[in-house]
Amino acid sequence: MKPRIAITVGDPAGIGPEVAAKAAADPRVLAACEPIVYGPSPTRTFAAGELSAAAGRAAYDVIVRAVDAARRGEVQAIATAPVNKEAFRLAGLEWSGHTDLLAHLTGSSHVAMMFYSEALRVVLATVHIALAEVPKALTQQSLEATIALTARELPRFGIARPRIAVAGLNPHAGEHGLFGHEEEIAIGPAIAACRANGVDVSGPYPGDTVFVRARRGDFDVVVACYHDQGLIPVKLVAFGQAVNVTLGLPIIRTSVDHGTAFDIAGQGIADPESMITAVLLAARLARADSTLKSDVSTVKSEISTRI
């Protein structure tokens, strides 16, 4: 049986409704899953390309509905079109986007944003915070949690024992304290602690070369210190083919690698390829989870029979 995948339209004033509809009708998607589009009531209208609190609230309400459906087992995964963070704020919502909202809705204590592509995979140690706040947010404890989460989650993507590289925060990964101390105070100790627990992780490596090495096959995934450090290389080599996956949730959630694109909303010219790729990965993960659950059930049944 094909998995049922919820496709949320994101901000209804952006290109989300368009790319969601196009993805749901794509032959590749229909062959892989049963897509179900979640959007606001069709009786509601939103001005294309216009930022508004109403659109932000509508996007939030749709996400809540999809998450509820996933937790009840009515859908096996969620693929999300982009929301607008400013519209969320106008609507009085405290979350900066999907990642922290989904963690809240599912009661998940630690989540991470991964951008997955065949060319390059990157996990972000910090997400939507000001660059000036990054050094304070990069604690040994938080990095250990993110590295450990990455090691646990990557096998679901067919990487049995992931080789994890961690990027340094400062130029030349600090050059032994010459250009900063975060590598010595937090990043290095987190790597050492995870290695002691059996995780194949190394670094910190200079940010200007670690992604090149990962692209060449030296590593399976890179943990980046901040948003743009990780996303610039991913979007450079795989824009439109990279999928945003939230690690650490009890449900499967994938998303596009682009924003709401208000400048072209409502014109019918939005490229749905990133949305299609996100849905296909969601379906793949859902099938893998279903197979794993079936195998576990079979083992339990065999053990029960022997007893």
pLDDT for the residue numbered 242: 93
Q: Quick check: helix, strand or coil at residue 139?
A: coil
112-238 shares the fold of 1-108+249-307: yes
- What does the alpha-carbon distance between residue 38 and residue 51 come to, in Å, rounded to a whole number? 20
pLDDT for the residue numbered 175: 85
Strand residue runs (E) in the chain: 4-8, 34-38, 77-80, 112-116, 121-124, 164-167, 201-205, 221-224, 243-247, 253-255
**Cα–Cα–Cα angle for 68, 71, 77, nearest 5°?**
95
Q: Which of 114, 148, 99 is nearest to 231 (CA)?
A: 114
In the structure encoding, which two tokens stand for residue 229, read together? 């450090």
Domain ranges of the chain: 1-108+249-307, 112-238
Q: What is the CATH number of domain 112-238?
A: 3.40.718.10
Q: Which residues of the chain carry a pLDDT beneath 50?
A: 294-306
Q: What is the CATH number of domain 1-108+249-307?
A: 3.40.718.10
Total residues found in the chain within this entry = 307
* Percent share of the chain, pLDDT over 70: 94
Buried b (16+ CB within 10 A) or exposed e, 266-303: beeebebbbbbbbbbbbbbbbbbbeeeeeeeeeeeeee
Q: Which of 249, 248, 251, 293 is nearest to 71 (CA)?
A: 251
Report the Cα 78 to chain-centroid distance in Å: 11
Per residue in 90-114, pLDDT (tens digit) is: 999 999 889 999 999 999 999 999 9
